[in-house]
Amino acid sequence: MQNLSILQNKIKIKFNNLELLKQSLIHKSFNHDVNNEKLEFLGDRVIGLILSKTLLKTYPNDREGIIDKKFANMVNKKTCADVAKTLDLKKFMLIGGSYKGANRSDEKITSDCLEALIGAIFLDKGLDVSEKFILRYWQEYLDKSVLTIIDSKTRLQEYSLKKFKELPSYKSYKETGPKHNPIFKVEVQINGSKKYKGTGSSKKIAQQSAAKKLLEDVLI
């Protein structure tokens, strides 16, 4: 129980039902029948609800595709594992000896445990406390999300696949300038469109430039 007190102090939440907190820390390798899998399932949904609501409120003018990309960056296993590491969550977990001895990544089990912990917080304290907890530990990722954009090449690919069920066609047609500072020229075309040209210091930049021009024309 001492570990549970330490964890409660760390997360600044006092549980009414300590059994919920304990269960959130039990990996299935420790107890096959009583473990954190169902709480993990619930916590994943609570995280999704809070972060999607927050993103929609923070970026009211962003397209759904951009919001979705920002959301995906914040709920993936790596981000959850990073938050779990901040809480030093692994040292509070109950993990079976067979799992400890295996060559496995900590990232999945700590990420899953964090989701289970949030599921337990939700059941014990409700949505408001869960939201405060999530926003406290995801704030830096929310701050970074302002930099997450869908680049022109990706947007054009999504548009072409959705509308024509085919990828844009890129063609590199010229490279000029000195070898140490070349200029690449690329053209792109989608079904029925004219060809749009882009230039840049690399083929990738030139493709982005061409895609941007095509998008600006077809999405007007």
- Residues identified as active-site: 44, 115
* Residues 29 and 128 sit within 8 Å (Cβ to Cβ): no
Cα-to-chain-centroid distance, residue 54? 14
User: For the CA atoms of 23, 43, 79, 68, what is the dihedral angle to 10 degrees?
Assistant: 170
Q: What would the two tokens of residue 99 be?
A: 């799992």
DSSP annotation of 94: B
Full DSSP string of 126-178: -HHHHHHHHHHHHHHHHHHGGG----HHHHHHHHHHHHHSS--EEEEEEEES-
* Residues 65 and 155 sit within 8 Å (Cβ to Cβ): yes
Strand partners, 197: 187
Distance between CA 97 and CA 120 in Å, rounded?
25
Contacts of 70 (CB under 8 A, 6+ apart): 55, 59, 62, 145, 148
Q: How far is CA 29 from CA 34, 36, 63, 121, 213, in A?
A: 10, 11, 42, 23, 54
